[in-house]
Amino acid sequence: MKKLINSADTVLEESLDGLAAAHADILQLGADRKFVRRRNPKPGKVALISGGGSGHEPLHAGFVGHGMLDAACPGQVFTSPTPDQMIEAAEAVDTGAGVLFIVKNYEGDVMNFTMAAEMAGREVASIVTNDDVAVEKSTYTTGRRGVAGTLIVEKMVGAAAEKGMPLAALKALGDDVNRRTRSMGVALLPCTVPAAGRPNFTLADNEMEMGVGIHGEPGRRRVPLTSADAIAADMVGAILDDLAPSKGSEVLLLVNGFGATPLIELYLMVNSAKRILDGAGITATRFLTGSYVTSLDMAGASITVSVLDDQSKELWDAPVHTAALRWGM
Amino acid sequence: MKKLINSADTVLEESLDGLAAAHADILQLGADRKFVRRRNPKPGKVALISGGGSGHEPLHAGFVGHGMLDAACPGQVFTSPTPDQMIEAAEAVDTGAGVLFIVKNYEGDVMNFTMAAEMAGREVASIVTNDDVAVEKSTYTTGRRGVAGTLIVEKMVGAAAEKGMPLAALKALGDDVNRRTRSMGVALLPCTVPAAGRPNFTLADNEMEMGVGIHGEPGRRRVPLTSADAIAADMVGAILDDLAPSKGSEVLLLVNGFGATPLIELYLMVNSAKRILDGAGITATRFLTGSYVTSLDMAGASITVSVLDDQSKELWDAPVHTAALRWGM
């Protein structure tokens, strides 16, 4: 294992301290680093809280700030945070308008966020994201996995919350964005969890895992490595089959790196994916390209397509000021 | 070689097409993809042009836009662009106030930019960056290498150009920022140039290259992998020895990933580096953390420290709108 760390036991706390030092204008750590919170919550605004296992940075803590999340609860690497983290985060950032949890569909996360919602002693609603079309059931998941599309839900719901939308409407909006959003990923090389010290799965020199999950979970099939165009055709094809957007739809195209894939390859995938969308009569008018929902040092990428309407375009374009996404301010 | 590509011969052009599609509001490609230009140059503003071998994305094309570069000339991977690229870029974006070339100190780049300056038939000045303290002479370099500090020069000079600073003053400013800026890097895993198909150097399972260049050039020494704290102490120590900032100085700390290093490790390095700076009585008040000056899929990171004054803080904080850096607008 080759990593820039001091000890497998302290990776998360040291990384959170670095994040807090670098972005002190935006965020601060809760007691015992149980959560990362927006420095200046907005009174009267619904508080948006997400979280999950670490190792997917910048998700979620990198999306705390104006126009996106009010708090993020980081678990240990690939391990759900605990209900006390979510309860204390809610206590810290709820200004009286209620709390909305945004949860990726993994059994541990759903169980712990559900428990926290019941125990929080305040008004809480939850959105569970499940945008991954690769498989219907997976290692840690009943139903579809929540992956990179989660950041689109966080951005759009975050923008609406900033504008004062109430809790029930935000919950409906988030569910709607999730329904309009589909993803699929491919891994070329596995990742290594620091505490394990060795790769969490193996791939032969010429193999890739098509439909991989963001913890290295198996996907649809293990096949020989092929061209970027063929990979994009496979992933976009699966997404469009499932999403079935009407011809002429406008979409947001997110090409997301898993952590060890250079940007030159991600933009090449944008080109491949866009050509396939164009061929299907679907027009990408919003783009996000980079490593936003990662799997430690896994090599590979995912493609996410989200169908846009006037409201969701306005919400996507709205100002955001977080460590990892920033525009309009 | 495991990469998301179609063919080693078309990586650059396909990636540029993806970049142009994703950021059509900011930039466009020149004829034959010889350069990437700002979509709306500002009349009367000095035109800033950079460039160099590809494989360092988002450098330089990702920094084209308001408040930074007017054009970037991409060579093939790890290969200098040719003078005709720079001459045509200058023709496209010079609005009459002259052209400033920002060049990383590599022999091929310096030679070709110098030739372009002579042949351009317009007023041209040049800044050559050489912020890497690791070695005094390297595989492709006489004198020190220009590395991640280049983006700080591009940002600050870009902000000053946007405000209307004339050519001679911009040249002096850029030279000054370069003098205040030092970097050093470490590689844990090599990178693979697509056309070569195999890693461009080898490291044993327990080895790292301390002082590596951004093309995998040898650094100061090959040593056993050690802790993040020890690595940061070595790199920040070398930087401070050379930079000799006065106690109480304010600095910008850039922790830059080389392409295959996850963000969780980069923020951990921020924490390590900041502690060392604090101990030396140096205060980091500006931070940039991410993979901005990369070496394809090399694993590792560099640390850059740039001494700030009132002017450079204002220039760093000024609005910027590019594919890879965006704030204030």
Q: What is the pLDDT of residues A156-185, one digit of tens each?
A: 999 999 999 999 999 999 999 999 999 999
Q: Report yes or no on A326 lying in a domain.
A: no
If asked whether residues B27 and B94 sit together in one domain, one would say yes
Distance CA B91, CA B149 (A): 27
Q: Report yes or no on B88 lying in a domain.
A: yes
pLDDT tens by residue, A29-77: 999 999 999 999 899 999 999 999 999 999 999 999 999 999 999 999 9
Q: Is the pLDDT of residue B133 over 90?
A: yes
pLDDT tens by residue, A220-249: 999 999 999 999 999 999 999 999 999 999
Q: Confidence class of residue A329 from pLDDT cuts 50, 70 and 90?
A: confident
Measured between CB atoms, which of A58, A267, A328 is closest to B19?
Answer: A267
If asked whether residues B99 and B193 sit together in one domain, one would say no
Among chain A residues, the shortest Cα distance to B288 is held by A22
**Which domain-ending residue is among B156, B179, B202?**
B179
pLDDT tens by residue, A179-227: 999 999 999 999 999 999 999 999 999 999 999 999 999 999 999 999 9
Q: Confidence class of residue A139 from pLDDT cuts 50, 70 and 90?
A: confident
Beta-sheet pairing, A124-129 with A99-104 = parallel
Interface test with B, best of A263, A278, A291 (most B CBs within 10 A): A263
Q: What percent of chain B has pLDDT over 90?
A: 97
Range of the domain at A83: 8-179
Mean pLDDT confidence for B23-48:
97
Q: Report yes or no on B31 lying in a domain.
A: yes
**Nearest in space to B326 (alpha carbons), one of A288, A49, A312:** A288
Helix or strand run (H / E) with residue B315: helix B310-317
pLDDT tens by residue, B75-87: 999 999 999 999 9
Q: Report yes or no on A3 lying in a domain.
A: no
Q: Report yes or no on A314 lying in a domain.
A: no
**Which domain-ending residue is among A131, A151, A179?**
A179
If asked whether residues B302 and B268 sit together in one domain, one would say yes
If asked whether residues A169 and A205 sit together in one domain, one would say no
- Answer yes or no: is the ipTM higher than 0.95: yes
Q: Is residue A125 a contact partner of residue A167, using CB atoms and an 8 Å limit?
A: yes
Mean pLDDT confidence for B155-178:
98
Q: Report yes or no on A324 lying in a domain.
A: no
pLDDT at B16: 98
Q: Confidence class of residue A325 from pLDDT cuts 50, 70 and 90?
A: very high
Residue A66 is a catalytic residue: no
Q: Is the pLDDT of residue B329 over 90?
A: no
Q: Is residue A13 a contact partner of residue A132, using CB atoms and an 8 Å limit?
A: no
CB contact under 8 A, A291 and B267: no
If asked whether residues A251 and A151 sit together in one domain, one would say no
Q: Report yes or no on B79 lying in a domain.
A: yes
Residue B56 is a catalytic residue: yes
Mean pLDDT confidence for B261-265:
98
Q: Report yes or no on A169 lying in a domain.
A: yes
Measured between CB atoms, which of A57, A265, A289 is closest to B4?
Answer: A265
Q: Is the pLDDT of residue A138 over 90?
A: no
Distance CA A230, CA A193 (A): 30
Residue by residue, DSSP assigns B119-163 as HS-S-EEEEEE--B-S-SEETTEESPPP-THHHHHHHHHHHHHHT
Chains A & B: contacts with CB separation below 8 Å: 191
Q: Is the pLDDT of residue B139 over 90?
A: no
If asked whether residues B159 and B194 sit together in one domain, one would say no
At B268, which CATH number? 3.30.1180.20
If asked whether residues A96 and A237 sit together in one domain, one would say no
List phi, psi (to 5°) of B36: -110, 125
The backbone region for A96, taken as left when phi is positive above 0, alpha when psi lies in -120 to 50, beta otherwise, is left
Q: Is residue B137 a contact partner of residue B20, using CB atoms and an 8 Å limit?
A: no
Helix axis angle for B107-119 and B83-93, nearest 10°, is: 50
If asked whether residues A175 and A207 sit together in one domain, one would say no
From residue B311, how far is each of B173, B177, B308 by CA, in Å?
A: 10, 11, 8
Q: Confidence class of residue A14 from pLDDT cuts 50, 70 and 90?
A: very high
Q: Is residue B321 a contact partner of residue B39, using CB atoms and an 8 Å limit?
A: no
pLDDT at A269: 98
Number of domains in chain A: 2
Distance CA B125, CA B117 (A): 8
Measured between CB atoms, which of B22, B62, B299 is closest to A2?
Answer: B299
If asked whether residues B171 and B190 sit together in one domain, one would say no
**Nearest in space to B59 (alpha carbons), one of B189, B183, B153, B185:** B153
B145-156: buried (b, 16+ CB within 10 Å) or exposed (e) per residue?
A: bbbbbbbbbbbb
Interface test with A, best of B1, B17, B253, B263 (most A CBs within 10 A): B263
Name every residue whose Cβ is closer than 8 Å to that of residue A37 and which is 6 or more positions away in sequence.
A27, A28, A29, A30, A64, A70, A71, A89, A92, A93
Q: Is the pLDDT of residue A137 over 90?
A: no
If asked whether residues A69 and A147 sit together in one domain, one would say yes
At A91, which CATH number? 3.40.50.10440
Mean pLDDT confidence for B201-230:
96
If asked whether residues A128 and A209 sit together in one domain, one would say no
If asked whether residues B26 and B174 sit together in one domain, one would say yes
